[in-house]
Chain A
Amino acid sequence: MVSDLMKIQISVKNFNFFYGKFQALRDINFEIPERQITAIIGPSGCGKSTFIRAFNRMNDLIASVTAQGEIILDGENILKLDPVTLRKKIGMVFQRPNPFPKSIYENVAYGPRAHGIKNKNQLDEIVEKSLKDSFLWDEVKDDLTKSGLALSGGQQQRLCIARALAVEPEIILMDEPASALDPIATLRIEELMQELKLNYTIVIVTHNMQQAARASDYTAFFNMMPDRAGYLVEHDFTQKIFTNPKEKLTEDYITGRFG
Chain B
Amino acid sequence: MSRKLFAQKIQNIKDEVLLLGSMVEDAVIKSVQSLKTRDVKQAKQIYQHDIELNDKRFSIENAILIVIATQQPMARDLRQLASMLDVISELERMGDYAKGIAKVAIKLENVDLRIPMNDIEKMADLAVGMLHKALTAFINEDSQTASQIPYEDDPVDRLYEDIYHQAVELMMSDPHNIDNANLIMWVGHNLERLADRVTNICERTVFIATGELMELEVDEEDDEMDFE
Contacts and interface: CB of A to CB of B under 8 A. Distances in A.
Given A243-B211, A244-B211, A256 B6 contact: yes
Nearest to A254: B74
Among A243, A256, A257, A259, which residue has the most Cβ atoms of chain B within 10 A?
A: A256
B74 A255 contact: yes
B1 A255 contact: no
Interface size class of B (residues with CB under 8 A): 10 to 19
Given A244-B211, A255-B76, 17 more contacts: A209-B72, A210-B72, A242-B74, A242-B75, A243-B74, A243-B75, A244-B75, A244-B79, A251-B75, A254-B74, A255-B3, A255-B73, A256-B2, A256-B3, A256-B6, A257-B1, A257-B2
Contacts of A244: 75, 79, 210-211
B51 interface: no
B77 interface: yes
Contacts of B6: 256
B78 interface: yes
Contact of B75 (A210, A245, A258, A259): A245
A213 interface: yes
Complex A-B, nearest 10 residue pairs according to Cβ-Cβ distance, in ascending order: A244-B211, A254-B74, A256-B3, A251-B75, A255-B74, A242-B74, A255-B77, A255-B75, A210-B72, A257-B1
Contacts of B78: 242-243
Contacts of A255: 3, 73-77
B221 to A, nearest CB: 33
Contacts of A256: 2-3, 6
Interface string A183-227: 000000000000000000000000001100100000000000000
Interface of B: 1-3, 6, 72-79, 210-211
Interface string A4-21: 000000000000000000
A190 to B, nearest CB: 15
A254 B75 contact: yes
Contacts of B1: 257
Interface string A114-130: 00000000000000000
Contact of A213 (B2, B3, B74, B79): B74
Contacts of A258: 2
29 contacts: A209-B72, A209-B74, A210-B72, A242-B74, A242-B75, A242-B78, A243-B74, A243-B75, A243-B78, A243-B79, A244-B75, A244-B210, A244-B211, A245-B75, A251-B75, A251-B76, A254-B74, A255-B3, A255-B73, A255-B74, A255-B75, A255-B76, A255-B77, A256-B2, A256-B3, A256-B6, A257-B1, A257-B3, A258-B2
Contacts of A210: 72
Contacts of B75: 242-245, 251, 254-255
A213 B3 CA distance: 20
B111 to A, nearest CB: 53
Contacts of B76: 251, 255
Nearest to A240: B211
Nearest to B6: A256
A210 B210 CA distance: 23
